[in-house]
DNA sequence: AATAAGAACAACCGCACAAAC
DNA sequence: GGTTTGTGCGGTTGTTCTTAT
């Protein structure tokens, strides 16, 4: 089951070309998914000799893989502290916050989520977040999309975390430690386990739907605005569990959502893929997004 | 039950940078 | 000071799994 990519990479990271043909050793390299045996060899070798010098390691361990491939396999999969499974709401909150600040600095973001790899976070972002940006028909880097994240998803994640834990929003923000706004400095090693606090800006924004418990928010109350316009029609959440809004492709107001008494989920794709339940998205969200 | 479509995940690629030579 | 080598990062793509039809 080989992946069959075009260019080859030699054991020393060299790319092959007509001027630089692959050596016999290069030709013998394996690619594609790792086998259980290979995993065992790699794990045993690292257990005995430690990490580092990946190209050397690959050779010495007898693995017909590039050092790069070994390193990737170890870091993303075999490392004992790699945490697998669904991204939790707390982690999602962190990812949203950190990405809004640092952009696609996946490894930097991953440092704030112990046990998570940059690859995993990157995949999460691409499969979940970017998908929804596409459905909202806006660029993932657009202000509109960022506002939706900041004023909609993050408050809901906080609510969800609170509901699950019984914590106050303030406690949630203290626990979900993320770097300060405007701080481009990497967290100091050893300082609070390399973690800092959620930005005040985000805290207040994320508290938008928590104002009943004392958090400040300058924008209009979502529910109030919505009920003024569309009183009573708030049952439209889908079952998307990832905390990311979900809308009908191609427009803000799907017919099915507007039909009185209709099933507000009709026509909405179901994005419940995660482990945590009901959706965070509703007709209300659609209205709010239009305000951005 | 079969199959198509979409989502999620794993792995590779190219590039950049730093250290070693 | 230039070249080689090793490593890390972000982007991309192939494969597998899940869900819908």
- Write out which nucleotides of chain C lie closer than 7 A to a protein Cβ: 5-16, 19-20
> Considering its fold, how many domains does chain A have in total?
2
Q: Is the CB of A50 under 7 A from strand C?
A: no
Supply the DSSP string of A233-290, one letter for each residue: ---------SS-----TT-SS-HHHHSTTS-TTTTPPP---SSS-S-S--HHHHHHHH
| Residues A53 and A108 reside in one and the same domain | no
| Rounded CA–C1' distance between A32 and C1, in angstroms | 40
Map residue A159 onto helix, strand or coil.
helix
Cα distance between residue A292 and residue A149, in whole Å: 11
Q: What is the pLDDT of residue A227?
A: 36
Please say if the pLDDT value at position A200 is more than 60: no
- Write out which nucleotides of chain B lie closer than 7 A to a protein Cβ: 6-16
Please say if the pLDDT value at position A251 is more than 60: no
| Residues A93 and A53 reside in one and the same domain | no
Q: Is the CB of A127 under 7 A from strand B?
A: yes
Please say if the pLDDT value at position A145 is more than 50: yes
Structural domain span for residue A235: 89-291
| Residues A184 and A223 reside in one and the same domain | yes
| Residues A133 and A237 reside in one and the same domain | yes
| Residues A38 and A172 reside in one and the same domain | no
Domain end, chosen from A80, A110, A129, is at: A80
| Rounded CA–C1' distance between A150 and B15, in angstroms | 33
Give A137's DSSP letter: T
Model confidence at A14, pLDDT cuts 50, 70, 90, reads very low
| Residues A210 and A250 reside in one and the same domain | yes
| Residues A157 and A29 reside in one and the same domain | no
| Residues A141 and A3 reside in one and the same domain | no
Q: What is the pLDDT of residue A50?
A: 83
Domain end, chosen from A24, A52, A80, is at: A80
Q: What percent of chain A has pLDDT over 90?
A: 0
The stretch A75-96 carries a mean pLDDT of: 83
| Residues A46 and A110 reside in one and the same domain | no
Mean pLDDT of chain A: 60
Q: Is the CB of A2 under 7 A from strand C?
A: yes
Domain end, chosen from A60, A80, A100, is at: A80
| Residues A95 and A76 reside in one and the same domain | no
* A18-46 per-residue burial string, b: 16 or more CB within 10 A, e: under 16: eeeebeeebeebebeebeeebeebbbebb
Here the CATH number for the domain that contains residue A65 is: 1.10.10.60
Please say if the pLDDT value at position A146 is more than 70: yes
pLDDT in tens, A25-49: 445 678 888 888 888 888 888 888 8
Q: Is the CB of A72 under 7 A from strand B?
A: yes
**Nearest protein residue to nucleotide C5, judged by CA and C1' positions:** A12
């Amino acid at each position: 089951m080989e992946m069959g990519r075009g260019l080859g990479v030699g054991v020393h990271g060299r790319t092959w070309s007509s001027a630089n043909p692959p050596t016999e050793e290069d030709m013998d390299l394996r690619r594609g998914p790792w086998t259980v045996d290979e995993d065992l060899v790699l794990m045993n070798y690292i257990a005995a000799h430690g990490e580092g010098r990946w190209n050397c390691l690959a050779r010495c361990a007898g693995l017909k893989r590039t050092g790069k491939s070994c390193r990737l396999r170890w870091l993303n999969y075999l490392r004992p502290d790699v945490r697998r499974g669904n991204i939790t709401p707390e982690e999602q909150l962190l990812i949203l916050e950190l990405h809004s600040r640092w952009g696609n600095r996946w490894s930097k973001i991953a440092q704030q989520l112990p046990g998570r790899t940059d690859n995993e976070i990157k995949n999460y972002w691409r499969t979940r977040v970017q998908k929804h940006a596409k459905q909202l028909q806006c660029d993932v880097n657009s202000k509109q999309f960022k506002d939706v994240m900041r004023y909609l998803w993050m408050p809901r994640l906080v609510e969800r975390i609170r509901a699950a834990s019984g914590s106050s929003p303030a406690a949630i923000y203290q626990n979900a430690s993320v770097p300060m706004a405007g701080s481009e400095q990497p967290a100091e090693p050893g300082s609070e386990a390399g973690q800092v606090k959620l930005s005040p800006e985000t805290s207040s924004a994320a508290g938008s739907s928590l104002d009943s418990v004392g958090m400040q928010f300058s924008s209009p109350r979502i529910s109030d605005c919505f009920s003024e316009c569309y009183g009573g029609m708030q049952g439209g959440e889908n079952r998307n569990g990832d905390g990311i809004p979900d809308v009908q492709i191609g427009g803000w107001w799907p017919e099915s959502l507007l039909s009185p008494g209709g099933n507000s989920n009709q026509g909405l794709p179901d994005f419940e893929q995660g482990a945590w339940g009901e959706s965070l998205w509703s007709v209300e969200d659609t209205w709010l997004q239009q305000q951005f």
